């Protein structure tokens, strides 16, 4: 994603952090995807654009190369700083394992535990998405 002359205005957007949130640690050239990620993105894509982002430039795009099945639901990939150069969002929802990044603090933050790998679905993404959908419903009724 590159800086544009005109910034795109979005009413709502859903931003998934990569490292430690939906992507685990690289092991033997492979990064595991948190269970429930595809379902979470699919559900939110019905309400607005879904993005993957990372503080590390290029990391979000690499995740989409590793998991092409996410592309059906993901509008774009960006570094966290570059996202705000390209978009303004009335209601941004960030799913992250940390709230240390300034770009994340511009959002409604839904924290999930750090994901380092493994097959078990702890239900945190599902709970996060349930909360986000509830909030989006409140916003649209206002």
Q: How far is the C-alpha of 115 from the C-alpha of 23, rounded, in Å?
A: 7
Looking at residue 142, what is its pLDDT?
65
Q: How far is the C-alpha of 96 from the C-alpha of 113, rounded, in Å?
A: 8
Q: How far is the C-alpha of 73 from the C-alpha of 46, rounded, in Å?
A: 9
16-30 residues labelled b (16+ CB within 10 A) or e (exposed): bbbbbbbbbeeeeee
Structure tokens at 101: 């990044």
pLDDT, tens digit (0-9, with 9 covering 90-100), for 114-139? 998 888 778 899 999 999 999 999 88
pLDDT, tens digit (0-9, with 9 covering 90-100), for 52-111? 999 988 999 999 999 999 999 999 999 998 999 999 999 999 999 988 889 999 999 999
């Amino acid at each position: 994603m590159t800086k544009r002359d005109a910034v795109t205005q979005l009413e709502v957007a859903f931003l998934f952090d990569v490292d430690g949130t939906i992507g685990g640690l690289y092991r033997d050239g492979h990064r595991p995807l948190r269970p429930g990620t595809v379902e979470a993105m699919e559900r939110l894509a019905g309400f607005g654009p879904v993005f993957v982002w990372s503080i590390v430039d290029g990391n979000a795009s690499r995740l989409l190369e590793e998991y092409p099945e996410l592309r059906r639901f993901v509008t774009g990939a960006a570094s966290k700083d570059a996202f705000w150069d390209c978009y303004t969002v009335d209601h941004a929802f960030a799913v992250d394992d940390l709230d240390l990044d300034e770009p994340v603090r511009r959002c409604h933050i839904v924290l999930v535990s750090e994901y380092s790998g493994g097959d078990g679905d702890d239900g945190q993404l599902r709970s996060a998405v349930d909360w986000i959908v509830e909030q989006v419903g409140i916003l649209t009724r206002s």
